[in-house]
Structure 1
């Protein structure tokens, strides 16, 4: 685990988060078009070593202001995903992605930088808070839930308040229960379906990150294989099935809002005969029970959707036996004693 020193923005390696005796702060943010990387920060360190300049003066504004804020609050170390992972190493990248939820949960404080939200003293800041792109990013879901203490900061790096303070407001934006945000309820007590709903409206630049960003939410670890595409989300669900008996995993819907790349191929005979409502999500995929993406866990869809075929059988006693062949999904169900 690489951490930045908050006084100089220099990287130092630790074996793990528990080896940082003073603890560490962590940053949550929406990536910009250009971010300074691990290599960039290391190059600045070598450059400044020669002339005695403090590297913190030369790093980008986001890294510099994060370090200054963490130092102001008494934290010596800071983790930022853009520059604290050596992405040239596939082993290090896989370890970091699998450990990210744990990093955020063990941090002393998480700063959620909202670049599109003005200071709290500005008129209309709450509306801008609701509309922030930070709420749309796949990775920020675990970054919202995992930390014990999360402080939102404005575009001017001033405090906007904590997630506990704004729990009800955040719930209205994200559907994550206020009890979870206030650490009064563990996410393991929330159904798989409802946790998937939290992610349904979020987007990732890489399709694989739709799955990788949810590993911590479901307590899952698995190899990171960028390039596998949609298969990453199937693997996530297969890993969930190994550790959970919650059948709400299969309660996905939203067929009309999702089409895989296979939908651009020539339609199958089944599709041609069934007409425009035919669901082609799983043609040739071999994953008929599993959802193709978090997008299809849609909380607004109808609770029940059935296709029914009825067969009448007349017996010698002149009674009628009615057999229903049903296919479809219940939104989800719970057994209550």
Structure 2
């Protein structure tokens, strides 16, 4: 397993093939356009900081540090997709990686921070409406990324905590049909 290590001054580096895997966070997210995501190659070469996907890496690093975790895993940059053998191994290992993560952060790029609809105080919270419509729920990987980890926390595009899989279980059930006791 390859992890991203948080360095001083907000830098990151890939740590390859760790035998004794430390505690780590893992990011569940939706992909933007391929050209906007930070790849394994970008991270190895120190490029990609100008890509939109770099914001997810910064978010994950900041949240991991807040949870006293030095390492995290993100599929976009921790898997060398130019190697079909590595990609196959990663796909076959993902459930275990999500299960073994100390924390799973769900970054919802299409959900705003918690706030009331200012024009109508009787309407649902705008983040709740956006949560229920989030494209994260339409992905094939959502089920395993929701069920495998013990700790799943949902964050808005601004990086604000929306809730956990426990506190949002009613919303998750309504959206997915998955039983409320995940």
Q: TM-score range by the shorter chain?
A: 0.7 to 0.9
Contact residue 57 and residue 64 of structure 1 kept, 8 A: no
Q: Indicate the residue corresponding to 1:13 in structure 2.
A: 16
User: Shift of the alpha carbon at 1:68?
Assistant: 1.3
Are residues 1:78 and 2:72 paired? yes
Q: 3-state DSSP class of the match of 1:178?
A: coil
Contact residue 4 and residue 12 of structure 1 kept, 8 A: yes
Contact residue 9 and residue 56 of structure 1 kept, 8 A: no
Partner Cα separation in structure 1 for residue 70 and residue 50 of structure 2: 17
Contact residue 111 and residue 153 of structure 1 kept, 8 A: yes
Q: 3-state DSSP class of the match of 1:164?
A: coil
State TM-score, norm by structure 2: 0.86
User: Shift of the alpha carbon at 1:122?
Assistant: 4.1
Alignment of 1:40-119 (within 5 A): 40-44=42-46, 60-119=54-113
Partner Cα separation in structure 2 for residue 15 and residue 75 of structure 1: 16
Partner Cα separation in structure 2 for residue 37 and residue 60 of structure 1: 10
Contact residue 3 and residue 78 of structure 1 kept, 8 A: yes
Runs of 4+ in structure 1 over 2 Å off: 55-59
Q: Indicate the residue corresponding to 1:137 in structure 2.
A: 139
User: Shift of the alpha carbon at 1:161?
Assistant: 0.5
User: Shift of the alpha carbon at 1:6?
Assistant: 2.3
* TM-superposition CA deviations, 1:163-222 (whole Å, max 9, x none): 01111221111011112x2xxxxxxxxxxxxxxxxxxxxxxxxxxxxxxxxxxxxxxxxx
Partner Cα separation in structure 1 for residue 166 and residue 50 of structure 2: 33
Q: Indicate the residue corresponding to 1:193 in structure 2.
A: none
Distance 1:62 1:172, change over 3 A: same
Q: Indicate the residue corresponding to 1:29 in structure 2.
A: 29
User: Shift of the alpha carbon at 1:159?
Assistant: 0.1
Partner Cα separation in structure 2 for residue 31 and residue 122 of structure 1: 28
Distance 1:56 1:24, change over 3 A: farther
Are residues 1:153 and 2:151 paired? no
Contact residue 29 and residue 140 of structure 1 kept, 8 A: no
Distance 1:113 1:62, change over 3 A: same
Distance 1:105 1:32, change over 3 A: same
Partner Cα separation in structure 1 for residue 90 and residue 84 of structure 2: 10
Partner Cα separation in structure 2 for residue 94 and residue 125 of structure 1: 36
Partner Cα separation in structure 1 for residue 165 and residue 49 of structure 2: 29
Q: Mind listing any 5+ residue stretches in structure 2 that lack a counterpart?
A: 118-125
Partner Cα separation in structure 2 for residue 134 and residue 57 of structure 1: 24
The two structures, once aligned, show a CA RMSD in angstroms of: 1.9
User: Shift of the alpha carbon at 1:56?
Assistant: 7.6
Partner Cα separation in structure 2 for residue 122 and residue 62 of structure 1: 25
